[in-house]
Amino acid sequence: MKDDFLVFDHVTKRFGALTAVDDVSLTIKRGEFFSLLGPSGCGKTTLLRMLGGFEKPDSGRIYLEGKDITDLPPNQRRVHTVFQNYALFPTMTIWDNIAFSLKLAKRPKDEVEEKVDAILDMIQMSEHAWKYPNQLSGGQKQRVAIARALVDRPQVLLLDEPLAALDLKLRQHMLIELDTIHDQVGITFMYVTHDQGEAMSLSDRIAVINRGNVEQLDVPAKIYEAPASRFVASFIGDTNFFSGTIASVEGDYCTIQTEGGFPAISAYNDRNLAVGQKVDLSVRPEKIRVTINPPPPEKGAGINVFPSKVQDIVYQGVYTRYWLKSSGLRVAALKPHSRFLLDQEPITWNDDVFVWWHPDDGYMVEVK
Amino acid sequence: MSAPGRGRKAEWLVTMPSFAWLLVFFAAPSLIVLAFTFHGHTANGGVGEWSLSTWRELVDPDYPTIVWKTIRISFEVTVWSILLALPCAYAAARMTKRWRALVAGAIMLPFWTSFVVRVFAWKTMLHPDGWLQTCYHAWLHFKCWLYAWIPGVGVPAWAHGGTGDCLIGVAGCAIDAASTTMIDSELAVVLVSVYSFLPFAIMPMYTAAEKFDFSLLEAARDLGAKNFYAFRKIFIPGIWQGIVSAVLMVFIPAVGSYVIPQMLGGTECVLIGNKIFMRAIQNRNIPHASALAVLMAVSVLVPLAAAMWWKRRQTLRDRRRLEVRTAQLMTGGGEAQR
């Protein structure tokens, strides 16, 4: 395990009575774009600060390239942070901000100039080199903060909610830019965010953190499609939960009798559950179809079809969200807009409709 | 502000009282003092006819020495105050809100007692039979012993209080007790001045430090800086405005101070403030005292103005250099000379 690039080995950190990080073990690969995703106060920033050297774990060790760095002060680890508020030095020019770490390392003047000019060119900020931080816009400050942390090629770059202070358009732009920078420099990025969209679009792997524990560590698609717990399923995107008991098992599939009196739901039994076990089933809204007429027979016999009543319709541009009532349960469904859907009968409030989905689109998240 | 005209009028009305106050109680008296210097004095302590006699009489050979000494001592007091206040301001700004209020209260507490009473208290503390004097003597003896003990090194004057005779030999070092008392010396004046002006140094620096973003120090350490380097390169420039006001807040009253040298300086430490007091109250020569005041003000203001002018020129020169550099960067890429 110590041979891996970056290892958190049973790390625990408490602040008074609060356990911020609870016995977390993580392994991060060289060159990876790794995200720590979780709600605020889940311990993700504490993990990052322990890697940066600003907090010391109460127990457990941190290894970087096989070296135990747990007790090293921040200035002795080649791990740099991009702070949420950028923390650019206001009394220095952009050029001097970026040159800070190189000058500290007493690099020759030629090398400092060459490297700073090169990275300014990379972030397309050469013309702003002699400005002061307060003369820059949010996005420009962000780029300078990244350049300052990258210029002496750290082993790991830590990003603490770096896009939180930017507006939506700029955030989307910076996402692409961050991705490009990561590809260019080939340094391991460790990214902390509470925004699942950011984590999904950037990361090679994501660790979903909740109350100081790693709930799931996987690639973005697996986290979305196969959430390991009820928490992960609800934190990453929207979902419908159906709690129930396994009523019967037929081959790879099973039927679940829900607690709200919902008719038996058919689902793929990937956990090999037996009759009588209690389970939470998650079905993403975009997997559920809503139509006035029942599904055509060629869609197959085994699919879930339930008559429902439309309660609410929210138009959201990219798609329309429907809230439906079905046997006392509330179901959310998404329907994209397209020219092809226009020939269908329009759905409006209080319509009697059918909701249907394929058994493979349900995912069993928790077994009790 | 609806219309610019009305806004300016309102602004003028708001500024008016303080402006009038400054005019009546600061600008006018200063001009009167200046005008007094161009008058003679009368035997009964009044101001005489217009004449240049006061300036002609201002040729006491002691004055340049006293002016220089005043500036030197004020400078020492300022340096010590800033050095002591800097860590105080840093520590206070990093405390929790409750502790901050307590510390600010403690710094302000001495102001609840009369300044003269506090200086008088120091007079008792520095008394030749007092414990501070005993400590000071022990320290001088220790230093003498130390220097005598190191072979081949003489005892420098500062190691035994400056004025006492020091004999190095088998007996080591003898200290003349009478000439190394703390009271009635320059040391006492500097010590008590630092004590008195320290709150004026801490407060502006603390105000600046409170606004300082301490995550910048974290960022500096993250990029490889040691604590002291981050303090020097990031914290001090960050609160520079506070330091400048602290310097002014200490230096200016130190130049004009006369209570402290009067009570603790004895004959060894007579400053310009004491001379002005002597001329105005004892000799009843108001024009002469006014001339001394003007002389002192000019000898402080002229170097200050020169320093400001130089700093401004430097800033402009820096800005021009940066503009040139940016232009070079834009045309010649990274090849430009820095």
Is B331 inside a domain boundary?
no
User: B223 in contact with A at a CB cutoff of 8 Å?
Assistant: yes
Residues B188 and B54 both lie in one domain: yes
Residues B97 and B214 both lie in one domain: yes
Residues B150 and B252 both lie in one domain: no
Task: Please check the confidence at residue B335 and state whether its pLDDT lies above 70.
Answer: no
Task: Please check the confidence at residue A321 and state whether its pLDDT lies above 60.
Answer: yes
Amino acid (one-letter) located at B135? C
The DSSP-derived string for A260-296 is TSPPPEEEE-TT-PPTT-EEEEEE-GGG-EEESSPPP
Q: Which residues of B touch A87 (CB under 8 A)?
A: 213, 215-216, 218-219
The residue out of B141, B158, B180 marking a domain boundary is B180
Give the model's pLDDT for residue A259.
79
Scan for tokens 């101001």, then name that residue.
B47
Chain B's closest residue to A130, CA to CA, is B322
Q: How far apart are the CA of B314 and the nearest CA of chain A, in angstroms?
A: 16
Residues B212 and B283 both lie in one domain: yes
Structure tokens at B19: 């402006």
Between CA B198 and CA B208 the distance in angstroms is 16
Residue A127 has its nearest CB partner, among B240, B330, B338, at B330
- pTM reported for the whole predicted model: 0.80
Query: Which domains can be identified in chain A, with CATH numbers?
Result: 6-235 (3.40.50.300), 240-367 (2.40.50.100)
Amino acid (one-letter) located at B152? G
Please compute the mean of the pLDDT values over residues B243-254 and round it to a whole number.
Answer: 93
C-alpha separations of B9 from A63, A290, B20, B23 in Å: 68, 68, 16, 20
Number of domains in chain B: 2
Nearest Cα to A240, choosing from A290, A284, A280, A276?
Answer: A284
Q: Which residues of B touch A127 (CB under 8 A)?
A: 326, 329-330
Is B336 inside a domain boundary?
no
Residues B137 and B281 both lie in one domain: no
Per the CB < 8 Å rule, is B223 touching A54? no
Give the model's pLDDT for residue A258.
87
What b-and-e string marks burial along B176-213, b requiring 16 or more CB atoms within 10 Å of the CB? eeeebbbbbbbbbbbbbbbbbbbbbbbbbbbbbbeebb
> B interface mutation test: which of A50, A88, A97, A104 has the most B CBs within 10 A?
A104
Residues B172 and B209 both lie in one domain: no
H helices present in chain A, as ranges: 44-52, 94-104, 109-122, 138-150, 168-185, 196-202, 220-225, 230-235
Q: pLDDT tens-digit profile of A138-154?
A: 889 999 999 999 999 99
Per the CB < 8 Å rule, is A149 touching B223? yes
Per the CB < 8 Å rule, is A148 touching B213? no
Give the model's pLDDT for residue B136.
83
> A interface mutation test: which of B222, B229, B241 has the most A CBs within 10 A?
B222
Per the CB < 8 Å rule, is B240 touching A114? no
Is the distance from CB of A200 to CB of A227 less than 8 angstroms?
no
Residues B209 and B281 both lie in one domain: yes
Chain B's closest residue to A147, CA to CA, is B223
- Residue B269: pLDDT band by 50, 70, 90 thresholds? confident
Q: How far apart are the CA of A198 and the nearest CA of chain B, in angstroms?
A: 24
Percent of chain A with pLDDT over 70: 97
Is B5 inside a domain boundary?
no
Q: How many CB pairs under 8 A join A and B?
A: 77
Between CA B175 and CA B163 the distance in angstroms is 10
Sort residue A332 into left (φ over 0), alpha (ψ -120 to 50) or beta.
beta
Please compute the mean of the pLDDT values over residues A229-241 and round it to a whole number.
Answer: 92
Residues B166 and B207 both lie in one domain: no
User: B318 in contact with A at a CB cutoff of 8 Å?
Assistant: no
The residue among A156 and B330 whose pLDDT is bigger is A156
The residue out of B165, B180, B195 marking a domain boundary is B180
Q: What is the CATH number for B97?
A: 1.10.3720.10
Chain A's closest residue to B337, CA to CA, is A113
User: B220 in contact with A at a CB cutoff of 8 Å?
Assistant: yes
Task: Please check the confidence at residue A348 and state whether its pLDDT lies above 90.
Answer: no
Is B38 inside a domain boundary?
no
Residue A80 has its nearest CB partner, among B215, B222, B322, at B222
Give the model's pLDDT for residue A79.
95
- For the complex shown, is ipTM > 0.85? no
Per the CB < 8 Å rule, is A100 touching B220? yes
Chain B's closest residue to A131, CA to CA, is B322
**Total number of residues shown for chain A:** 368
Residue B222 has its nearest CB partner, among A52, A89, A93, at A52
Please compute the mean of the pLDDT values over residues A41-59 and round it to a whole number.
Answer: 94
Is B120 inside a domain boundary?
no
Torsion angles phi and psi, residue A318, rounded to 5: -65, -35
Residues B146 and B213 both lie in one domain: no
Is B320 inside a domain boundary?
no
Residues B171 and B193 both lie in one domain: no
Between CA A139 and CA A141 the distance in angstroms is 5
Residues B157 and B264 both lie in one domain: no
Angle at A248 between CA A243 and CA A249, to 5 degrees: 105
User: A100 in contact with B at a CB cutoff of 8 Å?
Assistant: yes
Residues B100 and B239 both lie in one domain: yes
Is B334 inside a domain boundary?
no
Q: Which residues of B touch A85 (CB under 8 A)?
A: 213, 215
Could you tell me the residue range of the domain that residue B203 belongs to? 48-112+184-303
**Which of A133-142, A286-295, A344-353, B248-257 is least confident?**
A344-353
Task: Please check the confidence at residue B166 and state whether its pLDDT lies above 80.
Answer: no
Task: Please check the confidence at residue B74 and state whether its pLDDT lies above 70.
Answer: yes
Give the model's pLDDT for residue B181.
77
Q: Which residues of A touch B219 (CB under 8 A)?
A: 81, 83, 87, 89
Task: Please check the confidence at residue B157 and state whether its pLDDT lies above 80.
Answer: no
The residue out of B143, B164, B180 marking a domain boundary is B180
Chain B's closest residue to A90, CA to CA, is B238
Is B4 inside a domain boundary?
no
Between CA B334 and CA B162 the distance in angstroms is 58
Between CA A263 and CA A256 the distance in angstroms is 8
User: A15 in contact with B at a CB cutoff of 8 Å?
Assistant: no
